Amino acid sequence: MQDLLERLREVGPVDGVRLAAEPLTALAVERILTLLVDLAFSCNSHVSVGLLARAPQTYAESFDLAAETGMLDRGLAATLRPSAGLRNVLVHEYVAIDRERVAAAVPLALQDYGEYIRQVARFLQSHDPGAR
């Protein structure tokens, strides 16, 4: 995930106009945003199954369960929950992709998924029997 965030930083500032004018940039940004959510879902699912014996039914629910396990604080889980909706739009193309919405998601992803990585790392460190 850290690598994906670094690639997203390398893209630089984006807006709807740039994404429309640079289709390859748009595709790269969309793919990175999608992968971030997919990886978070995998982590969230693994931990919730292991600790709660419950698997999330949706990408959005996976953030709720991650908070329930203590892996994420509830505020961050609530902040990241909508990224599942954007992921679904990008993957399934339910509607025409709103380039401005994608552009607006970039700085949020950098900030919020950066915090996701920090919280998951702290959680894993505190649950590692060898770290004590």
Residue 72 counted as domain residue? yes
Return all residues near 120 (Cβ < 8 A) that are at least 6 apart: 43, 71, 72
pLDDT above 70 (res 100): yes
As a whole number, mean pLDDT of residues 15-29 equals: 96
User: What average pLDDT does the structure give for the chain?
Assistant: 94
Question: Number of structural domains, the chain?
Answer: 1
| 127 or 17, greater pLDDT | 17
pLDDT above 80 (res 22): yes
Question: pLDDT tier at 115 (50, 70, 90 boundaries)?
Answer: very high
Q: What pLDDT, on the 0 to 100 scale, is given for residue 131?
A: 56
Residue 57 counted as domain residue? yes
Residue 27 counted as domain residue? yes
Identify the burial level of 46 via C-beta atoms within 10 angstroms of its C-beta, where 0-12 means exposed, 13-18 middle and 19 or more buried. middle
User: 93 is in which domain, residue-wise?
Assistant: 2-126
- CATH (domain of 97): 1.20.120.580
Residue 131 counted as domain residue? no
Tokens of 130: 């060898």
Residue 61 counted as domain residue? yes
Per-residue pLDDT tens over the stretch 29-79: 999 999 999 999 999 999 999 999 999 999 999 999 999 999 999 999 999
Which of 32, 36, 124, 120 is closest to 76 using CA atoms? 120
Task: Encode burial over 7-36: b for 16+ CB neighbours within 10 A, e otherwise.
Answer: ebeebeebeeebbeeeeeebebbbebbbeb
